[in-house]
Each structure stands twice: as C-alpha cells, then as structure tokens.
Amino acid sequence: MLKQLTHVQVWVNDQDEALAFYTDKLGMELREDVTLPELGNFRWLSVGIPGQDVSITLMAIPGPPVFDDETREHIRQLLARGASGGLFFAADDARAAFQELKQRGVEFTQEPTEQPYGVDAGFRDPAGNHFRLVQQTAEVPSL
Amino acid sequence: MTPVPPERHLLRAKDLADARYHEPLDVEALARAAFVSPAHFSRQFRRAFGETPHQYLLTRRLERAAELLRNTDRSVTEVCLTVGLRSVGSFTTSFKQLYGVTPTAYRAAHPPTQRARVPTCVRQAYARPLSSFEKTRVEPRANVVTVIAIE
C-alpha cells in the first residue's frame, strides 16, 4: 500500500522567482533542479524544509503539449486570484517566525492570531499560493 | 521573468479586506493595496472575484459578526463596531438581508459552534454569506449592495 508522501506540487508563475523566494525568504533547501531538453526544457525543481523529507515541487505552468493555451491561461488566472489551494506549515514559535519572515519581505495575509488550535498566521508566495503558519497548542480541542 | 497576471494585485485588495475588515477600511484603501486607480478598481475586482469589493468587505464583516454572535456574549452594538461597521441600524438591516433574521434572533438560534480542529481561515472562507453570486447557504434578498455605506 502507500508508504509515504514524497512531493507536493505547487504551481508557480516563474520558477527562478519562486526558487529565490522559497530558499532565501522561507529558508528551504534546494533539493532537485533538473532541466530536460528532451521534454522541451521541462524543469523539475523542488525544495524542502531542512530536516523533513517531503519536497515541494515548484512547477511552471506548461503550455502545449501538456495544456492548451487556454487551459494554461486558466491556471495562471486561478493562481493569481489565490484559488490554487495551499499548504500548512508548523512552527515552534509562530510569532518569532512571522517577525523573521516579514523582515525578509514575505507578504503576510494575516498576522499571528490566537485560535482554539494554536497561533495561526497566513502568507502568500509571489505567485499567489496561500500558506498557513501554525503553532499548534499542545492540547487538541475535542471535536 | 514571467509577467504576473493583474489579478495577483487585485488579490492583495481581497487579502487586505480579510485582514483589516475591523478597521475603517474603504474601497479606496482596497484600491491602493491593489495598485489600481479607484475609477477602475471595482469593475476589475468584480471581474476577477465575481462581486464588488464593497460587497466582499461587507460580507466578510457580516461573517465575522455572525461568528461573534454565536461564540461571544458581546452586545449587538459591540459586535457591529468590532467588525468595522459604524451604524448599528445599517448593520442590522444588512445582516437581516443576508441571514434572514436579525442579529439578536440569529444569536438565539445558533448556540456556540463546537471547536473542531478546522483552521479559522477555512472557517472564514466557507462561512461568508454570499451577496452577488449564487446562493448556497443563506438566502440573500435583492438589493444587498446599497445597504451600507462603508466608511
């Protein structure tokens, strides 16, 4: 059966811009950066949080032959409108992480806020992907 | 460098409404966040997100108000001011138009929600009453748009 989640995919508007953001600003490490001429210079680019095995694949939105121009444009539009889904990150100290990331120029949509499940903040990458930064409370509220 | 679709800037206005709804925000401030001239802003926002920035901000405020009515014992006036609305009369009117009942009646009908481990950003996104497009959860009446002049 399924053993492990290894990669999650995130659409990005520009891979170079995304790589700089995820490494320089978010502090992730570059894991894979392979360009394949036989695939029309498809670039497999992934980053990850040091110490955690799951990688985030920063995927450029492909045109033909993968998607027709219209589909590609739809995805671009969804991304820019913030409709592309999101990822949830954990931090030991969400407020400290917020300060650090904000100083580095990360665009926050919500400052760290007390919630029943912990301290929760929100930010976006340059493309518009939505991320949460959560410091979970030790005690899990009952359902 | 791949150019960013203009909607990415409009998204900043939407984010600002979500983050600062409790402040005296107006459509001009939202337009500034999107780097769009106020003259074109509402039309562009509506094209991108299906409703005007005014409607979006108002429904965000009403959604937050509904949450406070359910989960706190603050008075209706306090709730109104807490979510960034200044007129209790307008608040009550627009709340009733979107939720079908007055804030007081809504509170009586909705005991505090259980604390499931659903992130608040998800809650906020799904609980916002709909104004201009299809209705699924609440039954908005017509002419919601002109109810409140947002400061």
In A, minimum Cα distance to B1 occurs at A14
Tens of pLDDT, residue by residue over A41-75, are 889 999 999 999 999 999 999 988 888 889 999 99
pLDDT at A141: 57
C-beta separation of A121 from A110 below 8 A = yes
For residues B137 and B58, which has the higher predicted lDDT (pLDDT)? B58
**Residue B112: what pLDDT?**
76
Q: What whole-number distance in Å separates Cα of residue A47 and Cα of residue A57?
A: 7
What is the spatial distance between Cα A17 and Cα A21, in angstroms, rounded to a whole number? Answer: 6
User: How high is the pLDDT of residue B138?
Assistant: 44
Residue B117 C-alpha, separation from nearest chain A C-alpha, in angstroms: 6
Q: Whole-angstrom Cα distance, residue A42 to residue A61?
A: 10
CB contact under 8 A, B10 and A132: no
Measured from the Cβ of residue B46, the count of other Cβ atoms closer than 10 Å reads 17
Mean pLDDT of all residues belonging to chain B: 84
Flag the least confident range among A18-27, A51-60, B67-76, B138-147. Answer: B138-147
- A61-75, A113-127, B61-75, B136-150, range with the lowest pLDDT: B136-150
Residues of chain A with pLDDT below 50 are none
A119 in contact with chain B, both atoms CB, cutoff 8 A: no
**CB of A82 within 8 Å of any CB in chain B?**
yes
Kindly indicate whether the ipTM for this predicted assembly is greater than 0.90, answering yes or no: no
- What the block records as the tokens of B26 is 């107006």
